[in-house]
Amino acid sequence: MTVETIFVLNGPNLNLLGTREPEIYGTETLADIEAATKIRAGEFGLAAECRQTNAEGTLVDWVQEAAASSAGLIINPGAYTHTSIALYDALKAAAIPKIELHLSNIHAREAFRRHSVTAAAADGVIMGFGAAGYRLAVEALKSLLERRVA
Ligand code: DQA
């Protein structure tokens, strides 16, 4: 079986998962989530390349890299979700399947979180399922990949 790579990108403050507002984001660390994501990806014959950065430009660079070298992308842009036209543009330019993901349901939170600048560039959005959302996103991406026209 050919193993395809998918990128799993996490933006600002997601390195703090586990201790960051656990009542909202849960108690699993980013390392826990990445380990579970890799296992789920492996079950689908995919290799997950997991990265986190607090820097907007680095996320843009990685989206471009994902477009050039991977089959698909899962991204939790953190707070850049609500502000980053640069990230939106990078995602629009990336001709691969893309899932935006949020641990929390951003529509049930503060007004400033209810709009995602970046979601319109994604094929779909998963939110509100906590850490389990990453595993669901891998399943969603796999289903998008299976729908590809050769
Ligand atoms: C988040 C939601 C964003 O509003 C917030 O800035 C984050 C995390 C989430 O996963 O629920 O950093 O993307």
> 15 in ligand 1 pocket by Cβ < 6 Å?
no
8: which strand partners?
A: 50, 74
pLDDT of the residue at 3: 86
Distance CA(12)–CA(66), nearest Å, equals 18
The 46-52 sheet, strands edge to edge = 46-52, 4-10, 72-76, 98-102, 124-127
Mention every residue, 6+ apart, whose C-beta is less than 8 A from residue 106.
81, 113, 114, 116, 127
pLDDT of the residue at 2: 75
Ligand 1 mean position to 78 CA, how many Å? Answer: 4
Tens digits of pLDDT across the chain (150 residues): 678 999 999 999 999 999 999 999 999 999 999 999 999 999 999 999 999 999 999 999 999 999 999 999 999 999 999 999 999 999 999 999 999 999 999 999 999 999 999 999 999 999 999 999 999 999 999 999 999 765
Helix (H) or strand (E) holding 34: helix 30-43
What structural domains does the chain harbor?
A: 4-149 (3.40.50.9100)
pLDDT of the residue at 65: 98
pLDDT of the residue at 148: 79
Written as six digits, the tokens of 11 are: 């933006």
Query: Which residues are catalytic, by number?
Result: 25, 102
Written as six digits, the tokens of 99 are: 């899932």
> pTM of the full predicted structure?
0.97
> 84 in ligand 1 pocket by Cβ < 6 Å?
no
Give, using CA atoms, the residue closest to atom 12 of ligand 1.
Answer: 78
